[in-house]
Structure 1
Amino acid sequence: MSEPAPIAVIRTQALGKVYSPGTEAEVVALKGVDLSIGRGDFVAIMGPSGSGKSTLMNLIGCLDTPSSGKYECDGVDVSTLDKEELATLRRDKIGFVFQGFNLLPRMSALENVAMPLGYAQIPPAERKRLAQEALAAVGLSERAGHRPSELSGGQQQRVAIARALINKPPILLADEPTGALDSKTGEEILALFKRLRDEDHTVVLITHDAEVAAHADRIYLMHDGELHEQTGAAA
């Protein structure tokens, strides 16, 4: 007997999103998007502003709900979940990394990384241990006590990545994660994403930059709310 096909970590079927439907302000942001991403994949979704890529990221990240179609996150149909269940799924399954780092300025790197564990009601001593492990994983053990203003842009983004990984989510969503960094530091962050992929994380990179997208194993192009896979992507 052949083994059953592995469940896609991210699977969308005919996913659509319409804002202000039936009004003069109606915007069709996504049109029938079919997407399947497996565990350990590194995928880039590329497109200009207004193409729908941020809308798609918000749906994949369970920050918004679709107008039509279906989304399964790690085998769970998100439309079956109430608000509390959705928040739990988002906390446990998805780590977010943003262009602006979104670190709290008065907290140390360690405290910023540990913060999501507070919502999960993890005891303080365990929070600290896990946060130290996460910082070590991104090469920042020696910066644990530093505040964001005492860190370079690349170091701040590494702290943000450690925070995104603290709950050990299978999915890492990165929205223009190198946009605020110089090219050398950006390359270091992309190399870190490749290492995370090799450790079985699923990395979804949202970008408008073709050079950044070329680091992914597969590239999808968004245009006018439609998604198409680009052939010949660099590994």
Structure 2
Amino acid sequence: MSGQVPVIETQGLGKVYSPGTEAEVVALRDVDISIARGDFVAIMGPSGSGKSTLMNLIGCLDTPSAGTYRCDGIDVSTLDAEELAVLRRDKIGFVFQGFNLLPRMSALENVAMPLGYARVPPDERSALAHEALAAVGLSERESHRPSELSGGQQQRVAIARALINRPPILLADEPTGALDSRTGEEILALFGRLREDGHTVVIITHDPEVAAHAGRVLTMLDGELREEPRLVIGDS
């Protein structure tokens, strides 16, 4: 890993909402992060701690008020709106608690959908979507609609969709929040395998048991970040 450019790197990152007004909120303060390719990182914190703001900045869904962010070596402040959209498409796969699958589409069609925006030919879309579903263990369910799938299967479809453009970063916001504990463990194990395949996995969570699956745990509190000693499942 020595000498490699961090896939996520922030320096002095800050975010202030409604600056200079009575409603001013300092959401992030001077956040420095360096995350290498292949890291599995959990960002923890209670509601209002700033973790969602940090996720939005890492995901290029919002812009910082201060500091810099380099995504896979690219300073995002140098990009215009169209270039940011391309970076999000190519560099970041998003997974959310609510799955966000289209109900009238099959699993295969849901997974292939992002490739339509990239103008990939239909035959190639289907082949890549089949490959992505196979990677999450759902080849036999590709013709099923979301209503015909369990919660865990729907989340696997959502993960396959996030992987379809083969992004280096997988950003997951409370990905097990809508799942029972056993299914949640299966999804977290899947994230571990994706990390072994070279993906950088960042999970936003409030749950210490979820965070314990990660190799690194970063904690947000009142907009400030600190790194916790490594958690090991089963430690007393």
TM-score, normalization by structure 2: 0.97
2:38 maps to 40
Say which of 47, 50, 54 aligns to 1:49.
Answer: 47
What is the match of residue 196 of structure 1?
194
Partner of 2:63: 65
Q: Distance in 1 between matches of 2:108 and 2:100?
A: 14
Work out whether residues 27 and 222 of structure 2, in 8 Å CA contact, stay in contact via their aligned partners in 1: yes
Contact kept? 2:112, 2:125, Cα under 8 Å: yes
Inter-partner Cα distance in structure 1 for 2:168 and 2:18: 33
Query: How do residues 133-144 of structure 1 correspond to structure 2 at under 5 angstroms?
Result: 133-144=131-142
Once the two structures are superposed, the pairs formed by residues 178-217 of structure 1 within 5 Å of their partners are: 178-217=176-215
Of 150, 172, 175, 2:170 maps to 172
Aligned to 1:15: 13
- Residue 5 of structure 1, CA deviation: 1.3
Task: Point out 4+ residue stretches in structure 1 off by more than 4 angstroms.
Answer: none
Q: Matched residue pairs, number?
A: 233
Measure the CA separation in 2 of the matches of 1:110 and 1:27.
42
Q: Following the alignment from structure 1 to structure 2, what is the Cα–Cα distance between the partners of residues 111 and 20?
A: 41
Deviation at 1:4, TM superposition (A): 6.5
Unaligned runs of 5+ in 1: none
Q: What residue number does 2:231 align with?
A: 233
Gap runs ≥5 in structure 2: none
Offset from partner CA, 1:41-93 (integer Å, 9 cap, x none): 00000000000000000000000000000000000000000000000000000
The percent identity for this pair of structures is 80
Q: Is the 8 A contact 1:110 1:144 kept in 2?
A: yes
Could you say which residue in structure 2 is the equivalent of 1:112?
A: 110
TM-score (norm 1): 0.98
Q: CA deviation at 1:151?
A: 0.3
Residue 218 of structure 1 contacts residue 234 of structure 1 at CA under 8 Å; is this kept in 2?
no
